[in-house]
Amino acid sequence: MSIIIDEKTRVVVQGITGGEGTFHTQKMQEYGTAVVAGVTPGKGGTTHLDVPVYNSVADAVKKEGANASVIFVPAYFAADAIMEAADAGVKCVVCITEGIPTFDMIKAKFFLKEKDCYLIGPNTPGIISPGKCKIGIMPGHIHTPGTIGIISRSGTLTYEAVDQVSKLEYGQSTAVGIGGDPIVGLKFIELLKLFKEDKDTEAVILIGEIGGTAEEEAAVYIKEEFPKPVVSFIAGQTAPPGRRMGHAGAIIAGGKGTAKEKMKALEDAGVYVAKSPAEIGQKVKEALS
Amino acid sequence: MKIHEYQAKQILNKFDVQIPQGEVTDSASIARDIAEKIGPKVVLKAQIHAGGRGKGGGIKLVGTPEEAEKIAQEMIGMTLVTHQTGPEGKLVKRILVEEALDIARELYIGIVIDRAKEAPVVMASSEGGVEIEKVAAEIPELIFKEYVNPAFGFLPFQARSLAFKLGLEGDSFKQGVKFIMRLYEAFKSTDASLAEINPLLVTEQGNVFALDAKMNFDDNALLRHPDIKEMRDLDEEDPLEAEASKFNLNYIKLDGNVGCMVNGAGLAMATMDIIMHSGGMPANFLDVGGGVSEESVKNAFRILVSDKDVKAALINIFGGIVRCDLVANGIVKAAKELSLDIPMVVRLEGTNAEQGKKILEGSGLSFFPAETMKEAAEKIVPLAKQ
């Protein structure tokens, strides 16, 4: 099993005719993802990469039965694209776009409250259930089907964790990048709840970083309600306060959001916390022995 | 993005938020003219991005235009050291000359985005004029908050509620409500990430003014605010960081001596962390981003080695969409063109890592290969100490 996406997922690509959209649609097709439609307003009725292109997500849902969307549209239009997909009835929206203004995301998330729709990202590599479906830009080949769930605020650091886990022959049930922005869709707790119900997920790796309080909130949930072993690494132990470390959301503001606080909260919740990023795989082994 | 106090006040003035009369200048004689116009008593305020200016001698009350000129002369061109500038301080290029107002009360108003609530929050406190983080830590009950509904915006009853809690009465109350409403309008309309008025001044006559003003903006929204983007002052930034930003590289200078170049922000932070765990200290954070090209690798290298503290460089690339062979070509080219002479440890993993390693081995370049992050960190730390 896996969470959110599997072999039944039918994907519509918003912004399919752009450079990024084209490149990653091909990669998703090669991986075996069912890309059933594309959307580029004004190009409806054409085909691109053997996929029918529509003017709106609503059309793609109606004509092709799309139930998930992935967004490659420019930052200033991306929040609107998220709302369009949610309004069309898509159950899962993955927003790859980086650099969306915060106020736009506040609006989009408020819009989503009324909808039955999971948002992943923005500023995420996406989500993958290895061997079944990949929605995003992560390299498919480093993943192997397995029993470890991964939730991460980072991109390449997630690949590092995936690689360590794959090399220890565990594999992943589903790996989700929640995104590096201050305001994102699904966060640690919502995903932990889904992994809790997933029979085939044995343990979860939670990769956090400085900024915000999402890790502390997750720690409270894990302590009270999450029965499976959790391994964690928090990036930014050496990050200076008040500086934005690449991700818009990675900043220690007013002395809050340090790696130390987060690691302590997770340790107190019984999580196996890796101090060094090289120990993530080892900690999984420890947690499962 | 940060701006100066005088720029924040220009923005506030546009939104009809009440500010003291004043003008900015880089000349002592003009400071005297301004004092003659709005004085004779004026306050001279050094314009640097850091806070804590008063204690460092960057804010002075003067009684006459002559005195204004004399003090302005001293202030312009001085290096101001505050607890936020670091020991090297900041050069004062401009001063703001403002009318001196009498002070009955000093309050606090701040607006930020609350990440957990996913909404802006307007905060008010009767304890103005001091560091608000201190108040928040010691007497949190003295900070009042109103969260903004994303659909309806900040509503008048919320502003009234805050003004009542601040103990404003009569005409001050009316002015306070208007002030808070307009301040939120300025925050929202400019895509700000912070608008802080500390102190918010109430005069003996009961008038309300923004005595100090601090605004930061969402970098991701600057394209729709070209007027604000122009307010960026590169002199206030680290020169290497400013240079890096021209090439869309995320670079932050740190205190150590191990330079690092990594793709991806999370992995870059993790690389800094593992250097520390191996007994060294990172000289910088440098994320070359997802779309690494030969050109960006070269620029990244140039900036990395411009930092004279860097004694060795660690390159950690996890190829996803980025191909390691491309990165390897970039490294070879940059090393040759820039004639790099510091020891280098390179770790390539992921897409086309094997091809990348072959390119490096065949290049004649002197470097130390590493298979894992751990090995890379353990190799680089002793090299940096030599």
Whole-model pTM?
A: 0.94
User: How would residue B384 be classed by pLDDT, with cut points 50, 70 and 90?
Assistant: very high
All residues of chain A having their beta carbon less than 8 Å from the beta carbon of residue B316 are none
| Contact indicator for A280, A164 with CB cutoff of 8 Å | yes
The distance of A285 to chain B (nearest Cα, Å) reads: 18
- For chain B, percent of residues with pLDDT exceeding 70: 99
Superfamily of domain B238-385: Succinyl-CoA synthetase domains (3.40.50.261)
Superfamily of domain B21-99: ATP-grasp fold, A domain (3.30.1490.20)
pLDDT at B85: 84
The distance of B27 to chain A (nearest Cα, Å) reads: 32
The answer to whether residue A289 neighbours chain B at the CB level (below 8 Å) is: no
The distance of B73 to chain A (nearest Cα, Å) reads: 32
Strand-strand pairing, A230-235 and A203-209: parallel
User: How would residue B94 be classed by pLDDT, with cut points 50, 70 and 90?
Assistant: very high
Q: Which candidate in B111, B114, B115, B238 is best for mutational testing of the A interface (most A CBs within 10 A)?
A: B115
Residue A211 sits at φ, ψ, to 5 deg, of: 100, 135
User: How would residue B335 be classed by pLDDT, with cut points 50, 70 and 90?
Assistant: confident
One of B6, B196, B251, B378 is an active-site residue; which one? B196
The distance of B377 to chain A (nearest Cα, Å) reads: 10
pLDDT at A197 exceeding the cut of 80: yes
Please, what is the average pLDDT of chain B?
93
Scanning every residue of chain A, which has its alpha carbon at the shortest distance from the alpha carbon of B221? A101
d(CA B368, CA B343) in angstroms, rounded, equals 8
Interchain proximity A159–B281, CB inside 8 Å: no
| Contact indicator for B345, B312 with CB cutoff of 8 Å | yes
> A243-265: per-residue pLDDT in tens?
889 888 888 887 789 999 999 99
All residues of chain B having their beta carbon less than 8 Å from the beta carbon of residue A277 are 267, 270-271, 273-274, 373
Interchain proximity A156–B318, CB inside 8 Å: yes
The answer to whether residue A187 neighbours chain B at the CB level (below 8 Å) is: no
3-state SS string over chain A? Answer: CCCCCCCCCEEEEECCCCHHHHHHHHHHHHHCCEEEEEECCCCCCCEECCEEEECCHHHHHHHHCCCEEEECCCHHHHHHHHHHHHHCCCCEEEECCCCCCHHHHHHHHHHHCCCCCEEECCCCCEEEECCCEEEECCCHHHCCEEEEEEEECCCHHHHHHHHHHHHCCCCEEEEEECCCCCCCCCCHHHHHHHHHHCCCCCEEEEEEECCCCHHHHHHHHHHHHCCCCEEEEEECCCCCCCCCCCCCCCCCECCECCHHHHHHHHHHCCCEECCCHHHHHHHHHHHHC
pLDDT at B77: 95
Size of interface A-B (CB pairs under 8 A): 174
Active site residue B196: yes
| CATH fold match for the domains A10-120 and A138-288 | yes
Interchain proximity B266–A180, CB inside 8 Å: yes
Q: Which amino acid is at A252?
A: I
- For chain A, percent of residues with pLDDT exceeding 90: 93
Interchain proximity B263–A76, CB inside 8 Å: no
- For chain A, percent of residues with pLDDT exceeding 70: 100
> B351-381: per-residue pLDDT in tens?
889 999 999 999 888 889 999 999 999 999 9
| Contact indicator for A220, A269 with CB cutoff of 8 Å | yes
Scanning every residue of chain B, which has its alpha carbon at the shortest distance from the alpha carbon of A75? B220
Q: What is the DSSP letter of B78?
A: -
pLDDT at B248: 84
Active site residue A247: yes
The answer to whether residue A186 neighbours chain B at the CB level (below 8 Å) is: no
Give the residues across from B59 on adjacent strands: B45
pLDDT at A75 exceeding the cut of 90: yes
Interchain proximity A156–B267, CB inside 8 Å: yes
Calculate mean pLDDT across residues A264-274: 97
Residue A233 sits at φ, ψ, to 5 deg, of: -135, 135
User: How would residue B167 be classed by pLDDT, with cut points 50, 70 and 90?
Assistant: very high
Measure CB to CB from residue B266 to each of A153, A243, A275 and give the nearest one: A153
Helix (H, G, I), strand (E, B) or coil at B121: strand
Measure CB to CB from residue B265 to each of A182, A250, A277 and give the nearest one: A250
Residues of chain B with CATH 3.30.470.20: 105-229
pLDDT at B366: 85
The answer to whether residue A21 neighbours chain B at the CB level (below 8 Å) is: no
User: How would residue B51 be classed by pLDDT, with cut points 50, 70 and 90?
Assistant: confident
Measure CB to CB from residue A278 to each of B119, B281, B374 and give the nearest one: B374
pLDDT at B209 exceeding the cut of 90: yes
User: Greater confidence, B125 or B295?
Assistant: B125
The count of residues in chain B is: 386
d(CA B384, CA B292) in angstroms, rounded, equals 26
pLDDT at B386 exceeding the cut of 90: no
Q: Which candidate in A128, A153, A238 is best for mutational testing of the B interface (most B CBs within 10 A)?
A: A238
> B266-304: per-residue pLDDT in tens?
999 999 999 999 999 999 999 987 667 788 888 998 999
> A111-159: per-residue pLDDT in tens?
999 999 999 999 999 999 999 999 999 999 999 999 999 999 998 999 9
User: How would residue B133 be classed by pLDDT, with cut points 50, 70 and 90?
Assistant: confident
Measure CB to CB from residue B267 to each of A154, A237, A243 and give the nearest one: A154
Scanning every residue of chain A, which has its alpha carbon at the shortest distance from the alpha carbon of B317? A156
CATH of segment(s) A138-288? 3.40.50.261
Interchain proximity B266–A157, CB inside 8 Å: yes
User: How would residue A99 be classed by pLDDT, with cut points 50, 70 and 90?
Assistant: very high
pLDDT at B155: 98
Measure CB to CB from residue A163 to each of B250, B273, B349 and give the nearest one: B349
Interchain proximity B250–A125, CB inside 8 Å: no
Instruction: Name the CATH code of domain A10-120 (choices 3.40.640.10, 3.40.50.720, 3.30.465.10, 3.10.105.10).
Output: 3.40.50.720
Its CATH architecture, for the domain B105-229, is: 2-Layer Sandwich (3.30)
Please, what is the average pLDDT of chain A?
95
The order of strands in the sheet holding B59-62 is: B22-25, B95-99, B42-46, B59-62
pLDDT at A1 exceeding the cut of 80: no
Interchain proximity B265–A249, CB inside 8 Å: no
Interchain proximity A106–B113, CB inside 8 Å: yes
One of A24, A48, A141, A247 is an active-site residue; which one? A247
Q: What is the DSSP letter of B129?
A: T
Q: What is the DSSP letter of B352?
A: T
d(CA A130, CA A266) in angstroms, rounded, equals 27
One of B108, B127, B251, B378 is an active-site residue; which one? B108
All residues of chain A having their beta carbon less than 8 Å from the beta carbon of residue B377 are 278
Strand-strand pairing, A133-136 and A126-129: antiparallel
Q: Which amino acid is at A267?
A: E
pLDDT at A252: 86
Interchain proximity A156–B264, CB inside 8 Å: yes
Domain chopping of chain A, boundaries: 10-120, 138-288
User: How would residue B12 be classed by pLDDT, with cut points 50, 70 and 90?
Assistant: very high
